[in-house]
Amino acid sequence: MALFTDAQRSFCHEIARLSVCNPFLPERIECEQAALGDEYVEQREGAWNVPDGRNQPPLNLLKIQEKVEALSAEAAARLSETGGRRVSGRDRELYESLILFLLFHRHHQQLTRTIEQGLAGGEDASPPKVTFYAEFESEANRLLGALEPASTLLGELDHIFACLFQVRRAFHNIFDHILGASPPAVRLRAAVWQSIFTHDLGRYRRSYYRRIGDVTTLITGPSGTGKELVARAIGLSRYIRFDAASRRFEANFAGSFLPLNLSALSPTLIESELFGHRRGAFTGAVADRPGWLEVCPEWGAVFLDEIGDLDATIQVKLLRALQSRGFQRIGETQQRRFTGKIIAATNRDLDAEMQQGRFREDFYYRLCSDILTTPGLAEQLQQAPGELRRLAGHIATRVAGEEAEELADEVTRWIEVNLPADYGWPGNFRELEQCVRNVMIRGSYRPASTGRTARREDGLPIAAIKEGALTCEQLLRDYCAHVYMLTGSYEATARRLGVDRRTVKARVQAARRPAEGPDHAAAADPA
């Protein structure tokens, strides 16, 4: 029996692709365009990769959901009319994909509330009861049970529900921990999605979910680029089994991430923290103590920050634990088993470290099966200058509360006027946060680096002025920019200086351009 027309089959094919594609790659948009045809609404570039703050699906996805609802109802009615006559193999697969897509989006808001309940309960709280599972189960039985024979998916509804919750949780964590709409941020989100689900979500649901914890994830990148945030997004998005009888997940995901900064501890303490110790194993070991590899549950993740600083002897011991998944507490011979996932991070060049003999090659090759690199702030701003205001606004929300919008505007103006357009942001996002705090408290920020990046003081190139190294035009340009930074508008600056608004605007924009060529050489002297 043919369940769909050719046009419906084509639509279902795109829904099946959409259900398993990486939602942070352009392939998602290609699927949406193919599914909607002329009904597809063009979006602002990058808008599909950033939540709009209302927790509502984008317009095109809403259109697709409406079509899926209508088509699934029509297909279910046709199955009912024919008494569930045997459906051809391809139509059967497409119908199942259609129903899984439908179930996920029907319960999107309820899944979101389950996430919020888990976070509100804290890391040590018991998982909340999922009261809407009965509704989910009833819908799945009605829609998938209409097939003849009944869909095999009915025998794994608890697993399917766990997967749908994991997908919703991954969206939440990726958006919550990785900010921005620049191409590097978009690529990072896509890479994190693959670290969680691999590049094939269909295979992940069928089998990979059992084995992905054996894969170690290594996050590289400069200091201050959010490596721990990326690790949290991955660690908090792991698969957790669901018990249909009790209507509860095996555990609360909020307690699944266990971070350890290796550079802050001595080798002895690191070994104890990782593997645990027996009473009397060393001075200060006054009681038996389990390590994090022992405490970490199957669905959890241990995050080892600054893995490049790890002592060579502990590298060997951790290598054995990763190879065999077995380890021993310090001072005992009992073999214990690690069942969770390891996520590591470093800002070091591990290739150079291996060449210098400070990092073991065999240990590296146990870490490199899944590598992510976090982009620097300068790289993001170079490719998407508008991200500066967005990122400053996010930080300002945390530090200034209801004054966030005004502070973000002030910070953005100050940076545009006082730092070169090609400023390198050596401290990355951590430096931007301190810049926001400095501007909030003192109205200005003094970078730690020297040279062009620190050439101004309170908006003016003081050293160059004292040395008489500026031309009249350069002095007027910088002074106009300084007053503009104080007033926040071209009109107010023009009134204060007694000149035309267009003159102010031209000089402020000239001051924002990166210093280059002979005309800017004097102004580039460090203040």
98-125 pLDDT tens trace: 999 999 999 999 999 999 999 988 888 8
E-strand stretches of 364-479: 370-373
Share of the chain above pLDDT 70, in %: 90
Helix 59-81 vs helix 89-106: angle between axes, to the nearest 10 degrees? Answer: 130
pTM above threshold 0.85? no
| Cα-to-chain-centroid distance, residue 158 | 27
Lowest mean pLDDT among 143-152, 392-401, 449-458, 517-526: 517-526
Q: What is the pLDDT of residue 1?
A: 75
Confidence band (pLDDT; 50, 70, 90) for 520? very low
When the pLDDT of each residue in the chain is averaged and rounded to a whole number, the result is 88
87 phi/psi in degrees, rounded to 5: -100, 145
Q: Which residues of 461-478 are buried (b: 16+ CB within 10 A; e: fewer)?
A: bebbbeeebbeeebbbbb
Q: Do residues 380 and 388 lie in contact, with contact meaning Cβ atoms separated by under 8 Å?
A: no
Lowest-pLDDT range of 70-84, 425-439, 471-485: 471-485
369: left (phi over 0), alpha (psi -120 to 50) or beta: alpha
Lowest-confidence region among 56-65, 165-174, 518-527: 518-527
Q: Where are the domains of the chain?
A: 455-527
- Structure confidence by residue, pLDDT tens digits, 444-461: 998 875 434 444 445 566
